[in-house]
Chain A
Amino acid sequence: MRPAELATHDHARHRSRLFGLNRQARNDAKWGYLLIAPMMIGFSIFFLIALGASLVLSLTSWDMLSSPVWVGLDNYRKLFHDPEFRTTLRNTVAIAVPNVIFRLIFSLALAMALNTNIRFRSFYRVLFFMPVLTMPVAIATVWKWLYDPAFGPINGLLGQLGLPRPEWLANPKTAVIAVVVVLLWSGVGYDMVIFLAGLQAIPRDYYDAAEIDGASAWQKFRDITLPLLTPTTFFLSVIGVIFSLQVFDLVYVMTRLDQTNTLPTVVYYIYEEGFRNFRMGYAITVAWALLAMILVFTFFQFRLQRRWVYYS
């Protein structure tokens, strides 16, 4: 074969292969769209359209009976002068901050205790994890009774010790403490499981080498465990902040006493404004403020990440 002939032959082969690929590629694309269709259709309706509608409705005043009235940025302006919003925001932050911090500390401590060969450790693991599975409304129901000022066991014990018996859930200050204790009880097990996986991923050799160098337990913790766990800690603190800012059902059921709520949170306020007071536009605006807060917190966490998170 002469070179030119060879070239055309090659070209033809190349073309036919390309054509074959094209057909296969087209076939793949057809199936690809078909298989993602259910997900994408649902996502478009319940996410994209809902999100667009939510943006537009936040610029209106709407009671769901008459048609929406355009109010421009009034809802957003109102947000800054709304004492109720400020209260719910303060409550949410007052719950979220100690919850995120203590959750990390306690879950790491428990994970380290259970990462030894101590007896009954699988029993403890199951026990600490059980509240994670329990319905938040049921948790709130039980703890509300534990905190009952007159007949609950907590005040029963305090009374026997001769201590004051506070009305835990009736006063916002003590209610914050009470609620954070319950959130920790119900959430620590989740973080613990993730920390345990993180701990098990640390190679044993590091500790062996440190022991040969005569490192103390504290030094091993500070120089090996803590730095190698920073990616896990980072992940848990990011989702911890996101979840804490969205607290609703547990706090709602615990602190709603005789139709008044001692500790309204931001999500409670969204629900209340929207579905009780029928101020839909304003309820959505509060929701956008919540989303903005979550994004700002998450953004700063990612920015600060470089300072303390260690990726091997």
Chain B
Amino acid sequence: MKRRSTRHKLTRIGLHIVLMSVGLFFMFPFIWSISTSLKPLSDLFSVEPKLIPSEIRWENYSDVFDIAPFLQFYANTIIVTIARTFGQVFIASLAAFAFSQLRFPGRDVMFFILLAGLMVPDQVLIVPRFIIMREFGWLNTYQGLIIPLIFSSFGVFLLRQFFLGIPKEFHEAARLEGANPFQVYWDIYLPLARPALAAFGFLALLFSWNEFLWALTVTTDSDMQVLSVGLALLQGQHFTNNAILLAAANMATFPLLIAFLFFQKQLVEGITLSGLK
């Protein structure tokens, strides 16, 4: 019995050591990126790089705004992300409600086609979508960044699954009282589905904030670029101050990481929901 408990203790300690090393590996890039973003230029070109900057240079962060229209990138990213997130949640939940609660000819076929669409990667569609944007005159516009990406079949699938779990009696009772289907959706199903909407909403937000390929394709004006594209293009240029570059990378990611700390529960639920259903 005693031998067993000392062995148990040893595995515990071993587990702690492993987790701490893995934790360090996960933390290191974040820490190094923060420390580098505060270093003066002279610290960057040392063959034995140090973690602690020789002096803290906060100006690296303000310098980002001098080398690129970073404020504009920020505004664009926020506008595009908010519009895509609300658009995706609204459009997908409307369709999910109809697919799960109403009967109409062709319903199952259409739902199946939407699902099959999930298998086709966006890259196959990117060139034709670009051409559609050019025909519409939507290159370098917010509509061009936003609208092609607000139709999420994944969202329809996820939310339909959730709506199917809500007892039918809610729907029937409201209809007997004379509510039309939109009112049932708006007044009853949306409030009941809040956890699922929040989960899907956060996934949509995450995807949209970090999205790169489509934004790179439809925007060429630096006034219309988003953070991910702006950050990637900064690296092609000929300035070499990596401290400023990493300051820019940090500013592009921190808002989302902070939001995550607030919405952790919903996000993890959403991911689990998307993974297991």
State whether A35 and B271 are in contact (beta carbons under 8 Å apart), knowing that A54-B124, A133-B260, A142-B32 are contacts in the complex.
no
Q: Which residues of A contact B248 (CB under 8 A)?
A: 141
B144 → chain A closest CB, angstroms: 12
B126 at the interface (CB under 8 A from A): yes
A294 near B245 with CB under 8 A, answer: no
Instruction: Please determine whether A287 and B127 come into contact, CB atoms closer than 8 angstroms.
Output: yes
Compute the total of residue contacts between A and B using a CB distance below 8 Å.
262
Partner of B91, one of A38, A142, A156, A298: A38
Q: Is A232 an interface residue (CB 8 A)?
A: yes
Interface centre among A28, A45, A46 (most CB of B within 10 A): A46
Q: Are the CB atoms of B125 and A31 closer together than 8 Å?
A: no
Instruction: Please indicate the chain B residues that have their CB under 8 angstroms from the CB of A39 in the complex.
Output: 91-92, 94-95, 114, 151, 156
Within the assembled complex, what's the spacing in Å between the Cα atoms of A29 and B212? 39
Q: Is the CB of B181 within 8 A of A298?
A: no
User: Within 8 Å CB of A137, what residues of B?
Assistant: 210, 212, 228-229, 231-232, 249, 252
Q: A39-B94, A135-B227, A275-B217 are in contact. Are A287 and B117 (CB under 8 A)?
A: no
B157 → chain A, closest Cβ, in Å?
Answer: 11
C-alpha gap A144/B249 in the complex (Å): 12
Contacts of A38 in B (CB 8 A): 91, 94-95, 151
A38–B33 CA distance with the chains assembled, in angstroms: 43
Looking at the complex, which of B59-67, B104-112, B190-198 is the stretch in contact with chain A?
Answer: B104-112
Binds B, one of A3-11, A166-174, A205-213, A245-253: A245-253
**B124 with A118: CB separation less than 8 A:** no
> B272's contact among A36, A128, A153, A197, by CB below 8 Å, is which?
A197
The verdict on B70 contacting chain A, using a C-beta distance below 8 Å, is: no
User: Closest CB of chain A to B232's CB: distance in Å?
Assistant: 5
The answer to whether residues A134 and B253 also contact, given A42-B147, A193-B271 and a CB cut-off of 8 A, is yes
B206: chain A residues at CB < 8 Å are 133
Which one, A12-20, A79-87, A93-101, A266-274, is touching chain B?
A266-274
What per-residue 1/0 map shows which CB atoms of A77-118 lie under 8 Å from chain B?
Answer: 000000000000000000000000000000000100100101
Known contacts A54-B127, A156-B49, A287-B124; decide if A142 and B29 are in contact (CB<8 Å). yes
Chain A residue numbers with a CB within 8 Å of B22 are 110, 128
Closest chain B CB from A128 CB (angstroms): 6
Chain A, residues 111-133, CB within 8 Å of chain B (1/0): the string is 00100101110001011111101
Distance between Cα atoms of A200 and B47 in the complex (Å): 47
- Residue interface mask A21-58, B partner, CB < 8 A = 1: 00001001101111110111011011111110110010
Query: Is B123 an interface residue, CB under 8 A from the partner?
Result: yes
Residues of B within 8 A of A183 (CB): none
Count the A residues whose beta carbon is within 8 Å of the partner chain — how many? 91
Which of A124, A151, A291 lies at the interface centre, i.e. has the most chain B CB atoms within 10 A of its CB? A151
Query: Is B58 among interface residues, defined by CB-CB distance under 8 A?
Result: no
Q: How many chain B residues touch the partner (CB < 8 A)?
A: 93
A242 to B238, CA, bound (A): 35
Q: Is A143 a contact of B29 with CB atoms below 8 Å?
A: yes
> Smallest Cβ distance from B57 to chain A, in angstroms?
16
Of the candidates A33, A57, A118, A270, the one whose C-beta lies within 8 Å of that of B15 is A118
Contacts of A141 in B (CB 8 A): 231, 235, 245-246, 248-249
Other 18 A-B pairs with CB < 8 A, given A137-B212, A141-B245: A34-B182, A35-B98, A49-B132, A54-B125, A134-B257, A137-B210, A151-B45, A156-B49, A194-B271, A194-B275, A236-B275, A248-B212, A248-B213, A249-B228, A253-B235, A270-B123, A271-B126, A290-B123
Instruction: Show the binding face of A for B, using Cβ within 8 Å.
Output: 25, 28-29, 31-36, 38-40, 42-43, 45-51, 53-54, 57, 64, 110, 113, 116, 118-120, 124, 126-131, 133-139, 141-146, 148, 150-153, 156, 159-160, 185, 190, 193-194, 197-198, 232, 235-236, 242, 246, 248-249, 252-253, 256, 259, 267, 270-271, 274-275, 280, 283-284, 287-288, 290-291, 294-295, 298
Could you jot down 23 A-B contacts, CB within 8 Å?
Answer: A28-B102, A36-B99, A38-B94, A38-B95, A38-B151, A42-B91, A42-B151, A45-B132, A46-B151, A51-B128, A118-B12, A130-B30, A133-B206, A135-B227, A135-B249, A138-B231, A138-B249, A142-B246, A193-B275, A197-B272, A197-B275, A249-B213, A284-B127
Chain B positions near chain A (C-beta within 8 angstroms): 12, 15-16, 18-19, 22-23, 25-27, 29-30, 32-33, 36, 44-49, 51, 91-92, 94-95, 97-99, 102-105, 107, 110, 113-114, 117, 119-121, 123-132, 147-148, 150-151, 153, 156, 180-182, 185, 206, 209-210, 212-213, 216-217, 227-229, 231-232, 235-236, 242, 245-246, 248-250, 252-253, 256-257, 260-261, 264, 268, 271-272, 275-276
